Amino acid sequence: MTGFSVIVATLVFVGLLLLSSRFFCFVEMKSVAVRITKSLGLNIVDLDYSFEQIVYFVSLPSNIPTLKNAKQEDLVIKLDYRSLFFPRLTGIKIFIKTEEEDIIISYLPTKDFRLPVLDQILEQGKINRDDYLKISTYKLIHQTTLNEIAEESYKQIRLGRNGKTVSEEA
């Protein structure tokens, strides 16, 4: 009976570790990002960024019926993590979710998500690369940023990079 108890306790421990690791990683990242930006006199929500680093896997604007008929509510953003025990956010996937299939339309790697103000501060030596990555990752997964990325991705599907629909280009 003791051996069984040890096995169950081990499984419970590993299960709790797996289920809570992303949460605690997020809490640590948020606390570091808020502390550093506050010491620099910055507000994370107000930091500017560019949509240029989003990699699209479909032609824009799209003639694919599923994408053409998609509503903004069909757009889903999923955080892409590597490793279960010590999770590291590698990017965000943006896809259209339908009843039949999920179509990935774009991906934004964490390492390519740049914030010009932080680039300047990094160059001045006021922060290091690890701090930069924590702040930019927290900014990337902030709900406001995710909503803006979803809106931009939907706009790109509809209008493309030049702001014209497929029918206007023909």
Run of H or E including 170: none
* Residue keyed to tokens 């019926």: 65
Model confidence over 137-159: pLDDT tens digits? Answer: 999 999 999 999 999 988 888 87
Angle at 84 between CA 82 and CA 86, to 5 degrees: 80
Listed by start position, the domains of the chain span 2-169
75-82 vs 55-56, strand pairing mode? unpaired
What is the mean pLDDT of the segment spanning 4-33?
79
Q: What is the pLDDT at residue 165? A: 53
Phi (first) and psi of residue 141, to 5 degrees: -95, 5
What is the mean pLDDT of the segment spanning 22-36?
87
C-beta separation of 50 from 118 below 8 A: no
- The pTM of the full predicted model, rounded to 2 decimals, is 0.79
Taking the alpha carbons at both ends of the chain, their separation in whole angstroms is: 74
Model confidence over 44-81: pLDDT tens digits? Answer: 999 999 888 999 988 877 788 888 888 889 999 999 98
